[in-house]
Amino acid sequence: MKIAFIGLGIMGKPMALNLVKAGHKLNVFDFNKAAVAELEAAGAKACASAAETVEGVELVITMLPNSPHVKSVMIENDKLAEIMPKTATFIDCSSINPVASREIAAELAKHGIEMLDAPVSGGQPKAVDGTLAFMVGGKQEVFDKYKSVLEAMGSSVVLCGNVGAGNVTKLCNQTIVAVNIAALAEAMQMGQMCGVEPEKIFEAIKGGLAGSTVMNAKAPMMMDQNFVPGFRIDLHIKDLNNVVDAAKAVDAPIPLTQQVLEMMKILHHDGDGSCDHSALLKYYQKLTGEVLHH
């Protein structure tokens, strides 16, 4: 399939590489020339603009930071909604506000173009090995047509409802992940201060009810003081701000989410916004003056 892929960041680049490996023909664009060059070396066509990527394609995929970026590309500045082939479909893999997803879909519908919102979970490691989890919103028939494309990048692809449902589900995911990481950091720090080795805490707990994918991925990073980003704190702040907006619209209580968001904001102001979200541990280390170790 001929695909336009716009957005080759920490997640988008490996996702696009996996599509090339699966045999799809990609037109790619990003302001990061090194990322574009890497895709070109893998067999994709480098394009000079977002508009150039959509020439003659069947599918347009974006993987961009937030709602304003997707709206800019699709309906405001680049106006791909107006120039992409009317037979093509748009899939947005960005994690954005579901209200924005529905706005974009409504604009595309005026041009007869279908859309899926398909945010992902799994971070950079799962983007690289092609085992991301896709949460998708849109029509069943459109989902069925392009599911195999998403499966080239992920191991789980689930239709959650109409357009916007994918991003609602992603917001739920981001709430659970954020609170889970914070609880993990809090418990590991407390356990060490009570005299138990963090490695033993992790080993004993991971096979029980408190064990989780988050624990398996983040506890070793915390013990190693390794905060190289698979998913940056600043991006998680963006997602939790979207949770706050979505919750406010329906009057949903989110006290835990708001507390972790405040913790992340403190880390951002301390200069840790580009760290992995496992660096929530730093919030506790700052309070206690004690560093977690193996």
Q: Mind telling me the catalytic residues?
A: 170
Strand runs (DSSP E) across the chain, as ranges? 2-6, 25-29, 45-46, 59-62, 89-92, 115-117, 120-121, 132-137, 154-161
Q: Which structure tokens are listed for 221?
A: 């990073």
Question: Rounded to whole angstroms, how far apart are CA atoms 50 and 14?
Answer: 19
Nearest CA to 226 out of 293, 156, 286, 172 is that of 293
Strand runs (DSSP E) across 48-98, as ranges? 59-62, 89-92
Nearest CA to 292 out of 205, 211, 207, 227 is that of 227
**Residue entry with tokens 């992603």:** 170
For the chain, the distance separating the N- and C-terminal CA atoms, rounded to the nearest angstrom, is 48
